[in-house]
Amino acid sequence: MQPPIPSAANANTLLQLSKLIPTYMGYSEKPSNDDDKELREYIRLEWTNCRKTIESLRVTSNDKQKKTDFDTLLTEIDVIESELRTSPTGAMAKKIDKLSSIDKKTIENLVQIDLDIIEIIKKIQASITETSHSSDQESYSGIEAIISQITQFRSKYNARRAIINGVPLDVVQGQKTKSSIKWVQIASLSISLLAIGVTIYFNLR
């Protein structure tokens, strides 16, 4: 099967991503099937750059509040980097090998989420740089905006991971359809069974 031609809906998105990651093909079928790995590596490197910038700002700052805020950001990045290292990729390679089983809308949404994630990281980098330009306490507005952007990143990344691991698109988007309700019911049942199992285990000890 040949890689699908980008649709009008995501051609521009693919173009923007390919400028950042030259080998990115939008999860089209190809021998290596490594778009997921390459994107995660790009994200990891971007967060490493954020860390280096914050560490440099912390060293040069004489403001106690800024140092505390920079420590908070470094802790947030520690958590994100840990999540990236342990993030399961699911059976993406197998799914792409059977491209016909993945609907076009899901692929397009996954590509758009990838671009959204990168754009959020760029905004975070810009906000960090802006923080460094706040030379006095009056012009310093804290890190609330950066923390909010980090929350947005986590939300998008979790949605991306859910799609890759087979969660239906309508469930990820919070739409109430028959399939999404079924997934919620399955998840609820699994949690209930786990709770029952744990209760039985401790009662039998």
Tens-digit pLDDT profile for residues 169-191: 787 777 655 555 555 556 556 66
**pTM of full prediction above 0.85:** no
* Model confidence at 29: pLDDT above 70: no
The backbone torsions φ and ψ at residue 198, rounded to the nearest 5 degrees and listed phi first, read: -65, -40
Question: How is 133-183 classified by DSSP, letter by letter?
Answer: T--STTT---SHHHHHHHHHHHHHHHHHHHHHTT--HHHHTT---HHHHHH
Per DSSP, helices labelled H in 61-103 are 64-86, 92-97
Q: List the structure tokens of 31.
A: 């021998």
CA-closest candidate to residue 76, choices 2, 15, 127, 16: 127
Share of the chain above pLDDT 70, in %: 64
Q: Is 67 exposed, middle or buried (0-12, 13-18, 19+ CB in 10 A)?
A: middle
Task: Give the residue, 47 or 94, on which the prediction is more confident.
Answer: 47
pLDDT value of residue 3: 46
